[in-house]
Amino acid sequence: MALSASLNAAEERKPSRLGRVLEDRLPYLMVAPAILILLLVGLFPLIYSLIVSFQRITMTENDTSFVGLLNYAELFKDTRLWTSLGHTAIITVIALPLELLIGFLMAQLFVDRMPGRQLFVALLVLPTVISPIVAGATWRLMFDVRFGPIGQILSFFAGEPVRILWTVNPAYVYPAIIICEVWQWSPFMFLLLLAALSNVDQSQLEAAEIDGASYLRVLRGIVLPAIAPVIAVACLIRGLDLVRIFDIIWALTEGGPGSMTETISLYTYVQGFSQFETSYTAAISFLVIALLTLITTLVLKRMELAR
Amino acid sequence: MRIGRLPARKARILTIRYLGAGAVTLLFLFPVYWLFMISFKTPDEIYHVPPLWIPGQIQFSNYYVLFKDGDVLAILNSLIVAGVSSGIAIVLGTLCAYSLARFGTGGENLAMWIISQRMIPPIAVVFPIFLIYVYFGLVDGYFGLILLYTAFNLPYVIWMMRGYIVDVPLELEESALVDGLNRWEVIWKVVFPMVRPGLMATSVFTFVFAWNDFLFALVLTRTEVITFPVMLTHYFGGQSNFWAKIAAMSVLGTLPIFVAVSVMQRYLVRGISLGAVKG
């Protein structure tokens, strides 16, 4: 209010000067609102959370005295935490290469122009853009032991009734999660790699073809080096997403049976919102941030080296 | 790769590619088909053993129930929250991106800080945000969610749009300035038309991100402003999954995304790839 009033006053007196002042400050004026929101919603909670993590606030107690690194020391003794990190790692390490491979094969299939390609690509985008919760719900329906089609299809091929309790049986619950995850995100890899493959230098490929180079040689010598940066970025994006996987597991298993499929995000959620271990949850959050920062830095370093 | 000069071989390869394309598409769309079909089945058909691949008749009672019970309000909430927040993020983010791209405001450091905001895992900030929201009474309201999704999407918009704006030839803007247009006119009349495809793709993705968010909405909504993914999980419950509702709600909740993505189809691949390559 005060600002606009003074601006109006300035305008009445010397419009040209105001114009100049605004023009001078324009770069900052344009940046300000966005930065303000990011500070407010991004940085402020982090700082607040950092303070809380050095206190001892729980559902029953509101002990705001500082206890140093006590909460962080607790992290090391928390076996459920480390188990959940293990679950996260298993899913990431299996799903990521699968998504990359399937995405690459799909991209290979569509890289040359063919009538109707646009339509295929448009349809194949669908799994990637729907909500992960919908993806999880869909596969929960698909996997159902009695009313789902997966069992029926498997029975058809096996020649005998196959009854698998996908989301309950410990042996099948990870395959179930990974199938859903790979189904949803392979098309994402596909889109990225399709764009990358389309940009590979055609004259190089033609030259290799004239030389009679085998498919694998062309792949190793020309195609892979050309698309390596995109592969690296795609893996980074998907890797970070997989490490914080939450929605799909929530919809499929809710972390169960027991806490068999509890990932670090689910565990953090449980600590924060059903146990209400406020300070401890804050400490876990910073562990997660530290881990992700470490991974990102390592991957980015490798990318720099590869260049 | 364009291998094979013989027409016969070419035709055979094309046939194989079409077969492959068809198989892949069937495989990836089958779950969607299944969901879609369940949304039209009667309870008897849903719980039929063995499962029916085609419903006896297309009936809309599963959708009717959602309207009657007021569950569709969740879709409306999602539309409001995702729509408003991506609108704000696009406007503020594009302004910021222009400043970063053209004036180099804050240098490389500010740009890096902005993108690093995007890398923070939601689970790490959702809890402190929840505590702060409780303190300020922002839980279960439109404003809180809109603010959050705006902040969540800003780094993405800024990063994408900065890339697009840098690609606009500087000479165009300079000559427009010389012609007597002021900075806003230059942005509106010169830059905006050139970055419009990028802007479209970015808008779709910000909308989709906000639309699909589950974690923030789960934590920050109660009864008033339940969004569609949260509503969907309300139907889960041990043995008694309300599958008819889950399927119908999923279809309704995917419709807006499907429409947005179809309309913007030609901008999307470029949008995804640029976002990934430049980000």
pLDDT tier at A258, thresholds 50, 70, 90: confident
Residues 59-98 of chain A with CB under 8 A from chain B are none
Q: What is the pLDDT of residues A9-59, one digit of tens each?
A: 444 444 466 667 777 788 898 999 999 999 998 888 889 989 999 998 887
**CA-based nearest distance A5→chain B, Å:** 22
What is the per-residue pLDDT for A19?
A: 66
Helix, strand or coil, per DSSP, at residue B266: helix
Tell me, rounded to whole angstroms, the distance of Cα A175 from its chain centroid. Answer: 19
What is the per-residue pLDDT for A112?
A: 86
Mutate to test the interface with A, among B123, B165, B250, B258 (most CBs of A within 10 A): B123
* Rounded CA separation A298/A300 (Å): 6
* Rounded CA separation B51/B37 (Å): 11
pLDDT tier at A295, thresholds 50, 70, 90: confident
Q: What is the pLDDT of residues A116-142, one digit of tens each?
A: 888 898 889 899 999 999 999 999 999
pLDDT exceeds cutoff 80 at B279: no
* Rounded CA separation B268/B205 (Å): 9
CA distances from A282 to A49, A186, A306, B68 (A): 6, 33, 36, 42
Q: Is B106 within 8 Å of A31 when comparing Cβ atoms?
A: yes
Q: What is the pLDDT of residues B44-83, one digit of tens each?
A: 888 888 888 888 888 899 999 999 999 999 999 999 999 9
By CA distance, what is A266's nearest residue in B?
B123
Amino acid at B9: R
Helix, strand or coil, per DSSP, at residue B220: helix
Mean pLDDT of chain A: 87
**CA-based nearest distance A133→chain B, Å:** 6
**CA-based nearest distance B135→chain A, Å:** 12
pLDDT exceeds cutoff 80 at B116: yes
Please say whether the beta carbons of A168 and A257 come within 8 A: yes
Q: Is A132 within 8 Å of B262 when comparing Cβ atoms?
A: no
Please say whether the beta carbons of B75 and B63 come within 8 A: no
Greater confidence (A206 vs B2) lies with A206
At a CB cut-off of 8 Å and minimum separation 6, what does B227 contact? B74, B77, B78, B81, B145, B213, B217, B221
What is the per-residue pLDDT for A39?
A: 93
Segment B219-241 shows an average pLDDT of 85
Tokens of B221: 């909504």
Quickly list DSSP for B59-88: --HHHHHHHHTTTTHHHHHHHHHHHHHHHH
What is the per-residue pLDDT for A179?
A: 97
Give chain A positions within 8 Å (CB) of B48: 147
ipTM of the complex: 0.89
Nearest to A241 by CA among B250, B200, B209, B255: B209
pLDDT tier at B262, thresholds 50, 70, 90: confident
What is the per-residue pLDDT for A190?
A: 93
At a CB cut-off of 8 Å and minimum separation 6, what does A112 contact? B1, B2, B17
Q: What is the pLDDT of residues B146-193, one digit of tens each?
A: 999 999 999 999 988 998 899 888 888 889 888 888 888 888 989 998
Greater confidence (B239 vs A58) lies with A58
* Rounded CA separation B33/B47 (Å): 17
What is the per-residue pLDDT for A43?
A: 87
What is the per-residue pLDDT for B167?
A: 86
Residues 86-125 of chain B with CB under 8 A from chain A are 92-93, 95-96, 98-100, 102-103, 105-106, 110, 114, 117, 119-125
What is the per-residue pLDDT for B88?
A: 97
pLDDT exceeds cutoff 50 at B242: yes
Over pLDDT 90: what percentage of chain B?
48
Backbone angles phi, psi at A57, to 5 degrees: -90, 130
Please say whether the beta carbons of A287 and A82 come within 8 A: no
Q: Is A234 within 8 Å of B219 when comparing Cβ atoms?
A: no
CA distances from B106 to A50, A259, B101, B114, B191 (A): 26, 46, 11, 11, 21
What is the per-residue pLDDT for A157?
A: 92
* Rounded CA separation A106/A293 (Å): 31
* Rounded CA separation B42/A222 (Å): 55
Give chain B positions within 8 Å (CB) of A165: none
Residues 134-173 of chain B with CB under 8 A from chain A are 147-148, 150-152, 154-155, 158
Backbone angles phi, psi at A55, to 5 degrees: -105, -165
Amino acid at A256: G
